[in-house]
Chains A and B, each alone.
Chain A
Amino acid sequence: MSSLKLTAVHKSYGSVEVIKGVDLEIKSKEFVVFVGPSGCGKSTLLRMIAGLETISAGDLEIGGTRMNDVDPSKRGIAMVFQSYALYPHMTVRDNMGFALRFAGVAKDQIAIQVQQAARILALEPLLDRLPKELSGGQRQRVAIGRAIVRNPQVFLFDEPLSNLDAELRVHMRIEIARKATMIYVTHDQVEAMTLADTIVVLRDGIIEQVGRPLDLYDDPANQFVAGFIGSPKMNFLAATIVEKTTSSVTLELTNHGRARLALPVSGGAVGEAVTLGVRAEHFGEPGAGEVDIALDIDVAEHLGSTSYVYANRGGEALTIEREESRNEIGMQTITVSIDPVRAYLFDARGQRIR
């Protein structure tokens, strides 16, 4: 059993609270990614799970056992650090076998386990080298190897795979995820979307949303998650609710000549200032949606298969994604349509209106 449970977990440094009550359950062999902007507390939460930071309040359970006060080495975890944290005075072999040496494992058993991990990570020819003699990618593999050798229940990763080449990254993901639960911290939402079974979006020490990658993309709980998940970022347009029925609201877009569109949501109140969210790829051709808006083009990036048009109107910057498009070259303005079915509505506090 390698499930993990956090119950009302808090962390404070003096009067500064950095983790403000986190409840989370991670199933055995699940790949969970903590994602959020810098300073959101994702690394602190990971370090608390590892035992490198004390837990100010709340409970941490690993495999059903309370681990709050258990020594890091006895929690059944292994951690891979962002800077690799390889012991610079030891060879790759010694780095990988160091934990086992202190756990009292026999020398020949250490050699076997190190050799196995080295084979998985293609590190066999490098075992007698020092970390300074390795490339960045090789160092990362050693750091991962050091974690694998300990055969932990839970792997903790602090943004370590970002520089690994794509093939090895997929190989690693399959190899490790088969055996253990993984918690991975990153600020890169693309990496989170690629790797995770479950994404945990954090902001200012609280969990904003937990869910499968596409659930977060398709059905964000609030404006923060909507803006954070997805690349390019979701566009936000200022609007006001001007009419309301039991099953829809009609909005007036503040910066677009009071253009109106009706959204199939039941919340909100007439006169309420709201934000309309539209993903870059969900803007349609003129006339294809319910309402058309004209924008002034700032710059257009043509990547071949896709083009990104950066435009604005009334100080509101928007990004529009167009497939196979060359049309924006030399254009000053662009007209796009908004499809209400593919738009999201948020209240003034950033919460989703459904």
Chain B
Amino acid sequence: MSVTPATMAQAARRTDARAAIRAPADPFAMVRRGLVYLLLSIAAFVSVFPFLWMVIGTTNSSADIIRGKASLGGEFFNNAVTFFTQVDALRVFWNSAFIAVVATALTLLISSLAGYGFEMFRSRVRERVFALLLLLLSIPFAALMVPLFVMFSQARLVNTYTAVILPTVASIFIIFYFRQATKAFPTELRDAAKIDGLKEWQIFLFVYMPVMRSTYAAATIIVFMANWNNYLWPLIVLQTAENKTITLIVSALTSAYTPDYGMILFGTVLATLPTLIIFFLLQRRFVEGMLGAVK
């Protein structure tokens, strides 16, 4: 190969690039990097501090907490005993877990079916129907809850698990999320499955669902947390103590004449644990799912 000014310039650029990797030419690069780390540290602290305070609070008495004590104390067991004495924890956790698990499973099934359908089947009205669905996202729940209550009341479903679960299972946001994720699903896999003799429901069950497991994992975290933490609608439809969920119970504890904050924070930590466990179990898939990875 002949050496021309152009090839020499190219070689020089490559050498410059290698030098830039070895030693940053910009003397302010370190300062800038330091600033970024500082800002990220502040953001991390602001995010983590409430949790930290909540956990520390479980070890302090109500009086200490009100005084603003932010160090570990020795009241943990007292707070635990008080909580378990006042609250039928097993029952409450069962209520929350049953509602969250069933609602999550149904939401994922129904919303992913809808997302799959919207993306896979061509129709002239498809985009209009989808736009209408997205428009419905703008209606606040507060505007829906009274008509919803009337409906469930007429259907004699008030104070049942069904009443809490049913309104959540067709989540527009999750349908949207699955439709977007389905865009990355290779249509040739569906074609191959058709040639292999699978019916549409079998393609969904045996090909789509396993391939989209990261999307399902991310959606599981989002939907499970939403259902576990759901407050307003259960507050309206669950009327007897034996049906109430953990969020309602913890909230009810704060309404006492002299709230026992140590005990309340203990309950809050307990209420937070399942969502944390789910998140850490599915964390890797959650990141993949949010990035829309189909592998």
| Residues of A284-317 whose CB lies within 8 A of B | none
| Residues of B270-295 whose CB lies within 8 A of A | 294-295
Question: Shortest CB–CB separation between residue B192 and chain A, in angstroms?
Answer: 4
A41–B191 alpha-carbon span in the complex (Å): 18
The reply to whether A87 and B207 contact each other, CB–CB distance below 8 Å, is: yes
Question: Shortest CB–CB separation between residue A301 and chain B, in angstroms?
Answer: 16
Residue of B nearest to A98 (CB): B196
Determine whether B202 belongs to the interface, using a CB cutoff of 8 Å to chain A: yes
The reply to whether B195 and A72 contact each other, CB–CB distance below 8 Å, is: yes
- Which A residues are CB-close (under 8 A) to B26? none
Q: Mark A80-123, 1 if CB is under 8 A from B, else 0.
A: 01110111110000000011001100000000000000000000
Question: Shortest CB–CB separation between residue A338 and chain B, in angstroms?
Answer: 36
Report which residue of B189, B191, B213, B294 has the largest number of chain A beta carbons within 10 angstroms of its beta carbon: B191
Determine whether B34 belongs to the interface, using a CB cutoff of 8 Å to chain A: no
Total inter-chain residue pairs, C-beta < 8 Å: 59
Determine whether B197 belongs to the interface, using a CB cutoff of 8 Å to chain A: yes
| Residues of B180-199 whose CB lies within 8 A of A | 186, 188-189, 191-198
The reply to whether B197 and A87 contact each other, CB–CB distance below 8 Å, is: no
Known: A88-B295, A89-B210. A81 touches B197 (CB 8 A): no
A86–B294 alpha-carbon span in the complex (Å): 13
- Which B residues are CB-close (under 8 A) to A72? 194-195, 197
The reply to whether A132 and B191 contact each other, CB–CB distance below 8 Å, is: no
Residue of A nearest to B188 (CB): A85
Within 8 Å by CB of B195, from A73, A83, A87, lies A73
The reply to whether A83 and B197 contact each other, CB–CB distance below 8 Å, is: no
A77–B193 alpha-carbon span in the complex (Å): 13
Determine whether A78 belongs to the interface, using a CB cutoff of 8 Å to chain B: yes
Within 8 Å by CB of A77, from B195, B198, B210, B295, lies B195
7 chain-A/chain-B pairs, Cβ below 8 angstroms: A50-B195, A52-B195, A72-B194, A78-B195, A89-B210, A98-B196, A99-B197
A residues in contact (CB < 8 Å) with B: 47, 50-52, 71-74, 77-79, 81-83, 85-89, 98-99, 102-103, 132, 146, 150
B residues in contact (CB < 8 Å) with A: 186, 188-189, 191-198, 202, 207, 210-211, 213, 294-295
